[in-house]
Chains A and B, each alone.
Chain A
Amino acid sequence: MHEYSIVQALIALVEAEAAERGATKVHALRVGLGELAGVEPSLLSTAFETFRERTICAGADLNLRRIPAQWSCPRCALEILRGAPLQCSGCGGPARLVQGDELVLESIDLEVN
């Protein structure tokens, strides 16, 4: 389970952002999490609840914005149906991921004095 190491990286990132802006507390953070990011949302939330204590994120809410995978053909712009082979039904070329592999800190609600 790598969700703990991801949470550690997340908290370090939040701490750096907060320090840069002279914030004293974090109220909430929003994370964009793609379906294909390889991260289990519920495990990430549990890991965050465990690790946020005694950090600047203590008491902060983690809001996950889940992003479904979406594939399309870069040449024909045809969208690939969910679960279908990822080769374009038009030209046979490889599809490209449009969205769905994100693992991104999108925003933070910071308390500043």
Chain B
Amino acid sequence: MCEDCGCGDPEVVPIEVQKRILGNNDRVAQHNREHFFKQGVLALNLMGSPGSGKTALLEATARTAGPRLRIGAVSGDLATDHDGERLRKAGIPALTITTGTACHLDARLVHDALHDFPLEGVDVFFIENVGNLVCPAIYDLGQAANVVALSVTEGEDKPLKYPAMFRAADLVLLTKIDLLPALPEVRIEAFAEALARVNPAPRILPISARTMEGMAEWLSWLAALRAASRSVEPRQFVSRPAAILRGETR
């Protein structure tokens, strides 16, 4: 009650809080990150639109890398285990996280899936997020870096339309470039120009899971990032290993 005049009105006090709304998610993500680090696993958050070629990319990556780079994956989907089945068929130990109506994975979902996923013998662990260019961008999962798959048919202006997603991308894989001969109006440079307006350290790699063009560069990037990620303590800053790879010292 108001103690100043005894009027009986309740007392309203302003309280300074200044806390991140997703602070709980951040804490679980950091726990995941430390777990990956201890296991010596490079964890990547693979994002992109539905149909951008995320699963095909992982299939092709496993095929090309073979035992040189052993891949594991969890795949987030609103419904069905289709992607998980595809990945397992490609020889990738994989689990599906069914999210129901949720449009993104969060750190807790990944954490719980890790309980059922032995990371021994895995070099690179892909978290294939729900196909969506909006929601997954803001949830830290404990990954060392973000990879965004963007297919050549989606339009060069996608980075400008989804700045939160593309700002967070340590690498943009421009997928399905085998289709370019059928798309004379599409220029790879236009994707790169748009990306440079939303991402301070833009990196774009044209790739095709069908012709395997770009696959060698992609595997080199993964191997180099894996080495960089082992040289730093896991920190809250997701992009740190990628920054080291770019030669930035902060």
Contact surface of A with B, Cβ cutoff 8 Å:
1-2, 5-6, 9-10, 12-13, 17, 21, 24-25, 27, 31, 36-39, 71, 74, 83-87, 94-97, 101, 103-113
Q: How far is the CB of B18 from chain A (nearest CB, A)?
A: 6
Is A84's CB under 8 angstroms from B201's CB?
Answer: no
Given that A27-B12, A95-B200 are contacting pairs, would A108 and B17 also be in contact in the complex, using a CB cutoff of 8 Å?
A: yes
The number of chain B residues touching the other chain, given as a range, is 35 or more
Is A105's CB under 8 angstroms from B19's CB?
Answer: yes
If over half of B's interface residues share one DSSP class (helix, strand or loop), that class is named, otherwise mixed; here it is mixed
Interface bits B145-165 vs A (CB < 8 Å: 1, else 0): 000000000000000000111
Is B11's CB under 8 angstroms from A111's CB?
Answer: yes
Is B138's CB under 8 angstroms from A2's CB?
Answer: yes
At the interface, yes or no: B20 with Cβ under 8 Å from chain A? yes
Given that A9-B22, A109-B14, A113-B1 are contacting pairs, would A87 and B164 also be in contact in the complex, using a CB cutoff of 8 Å?
A: no
How many pairs, one residue from A and one from B, have CB atoms within 8 Å of each other in the complex? 109
* Besides A17-B15, A37-B164, 14 other A-B contacts (C-beta < 8 A): A5-B104, A6-B21, A9-B21, A13-B23, A31-B21, A38-B135, A38-B164, A83-B197, A86-B198, A94-B201, A101-B164, A105-B19, A106-B18, A112-B13
Given that A2-B104, A2-B134, A37-B164 are contacting pairs, would A109 and B13 also be in contact in the complex, using a CB cutoff of 8 Å?
A: yes
Is B19's CB under 8 angstroms from A104's CB?
Answer: yes
Sorted nearest first, the 8 A-B pairs with minimum C-beta distance are: A38-B164, A94-B200, A2-B135, A86-B200, A38-B138, A85-B196, A94-B201, A95-B200
Closest chain B residue to A38 by CB distance? B164
Residues from chain A with Cβ under 8 Å of B14 in the complex:
107-110
Given that A38-B134, A104-B20 are contacting pairs, would A21 and B15 also be in contact in the complex, using a CB cutoff of 8 Å?
A: yes
Is B12's CB under 8 angstroms from A111's CB?
Answer: yes
Closest chain A residue to B10 by CB distance? A111
Closest chain A residue to B132 by CB distance? A2
Is B15's CB under 8 angstroms from A108's CB?
Answer: yes
Interface residues of B in 1-17 (CB under 8 A from A): 1, 10-17
Interface bits B222-237 vs A (CB < 8 Å: 1, else 0): 0000000000000000
Is B12's CB under 8 angstroms from A109's CB?
Answer: yes
Within 8 Å by CB of A103, from B135, B138, B167, lies B138
Is B15's CB under 8 angstroms from A5's CB?
Answer: no
At the interface, yes or no: B211 with Cβ under 8 Å from chain A? no
Is A2's CB under 8 angstroms from B103's CB?
Answer: yes
Q: How far is the CB of B48 from chain A (nearest CB, A)?
A: 15
Residues from chain A with Cβ under 8 Å of B250 in the complex:
74
Q: How far is the CB of A94 from chain B (nearest CB, A)?
A: 4
Is A106's CB under 8 angstroms from B17's CB?
Answer: yes
Closest chain B residue to A108 by CB distance? B15
Residues from chain B with Cβ under 8 Å of A1 in the complex:
103, 135
Q: How far is the CB of A9 from chain B (nearest CB, A)?
A: 5
Interface bits B8-45 vs A (CB < 8 Å: 1, else 0): 00111111111111111100000000000000000000
Interface residues of B in 185-212 (CB under 8 A from A): 193, 196-202
Name the residue among B10, B16, B18, B23 with the largest chain A CB count within 10 angstroms. B10
Residues from chain B with Cβ under 8 Å of A24 in the complex:
10
Residues from chain A with Cβ under 8 Å of B135 in the complex:
1-2, 38
Complex Cα distance, B12 from A107, in Å, reads 13
Is A17's CB under 8 angstroms from B106's CB?
Answer: no
Residues from chain B with Cβ under 8 Å of A13 in the complex:
17, 19, 21, 23-24
